Amino acid sequence: MTRANRQNFSPEFKREAVRLLEQGDKESAQLARELGVRRNQLYKWQKEIHQYGDQAFPGHGKRSREKRGDDTAALKTELTRLREENEILKKAALYFARECD
């Protein structure tokens, strides 16, 4: 499924899906089909609820706290690297500008 086709589910929907999963009246595969989600998605939601409780599913379809933290660290590292490259390129441009004069 491409990003444009990705469905966003409300926190209430996710909580209810996990409640139904834990109720155990239906097999997880059947429940997933009825809800229109992948079975592993149900388990991911269940894990997040068990890990974060009432704080699970902040915002509207945003990534989990762990992934946001990883992305932030990676972006900071990338920003530092790009700033260093930018400084090197500025110095190189000044050097070659003097050589051409």
The 10s digit of each residue's pLDDT in 40-66 is 999 999 999 999 888 888 875 555 555
**CATH number of this structure's domain 1-60:** 1.10.10
- How high is the pLDDT of residue 1? 52
Assessment of whether the complete model's pTM goes beyond 0.75: no
The gap from C-alpha 91 to its chain's centroid, in whole angstroms, comes to 37
Q: Where are the alpha helices (DSSP H) in the chain?
A: 11-23, 28-35, 39-52, 65-100
CA gap 54, 45 in Å, rounded? 12
Average pLDDT value for residue range 64-78: 74
Domain boundaries, given as residue ranges, for the chain: 1-60, 63-101
Question: What confidence tens digit (pLDDT) does each residue in 5-23 have?
Answer: 667 888 999 999 999 999 9
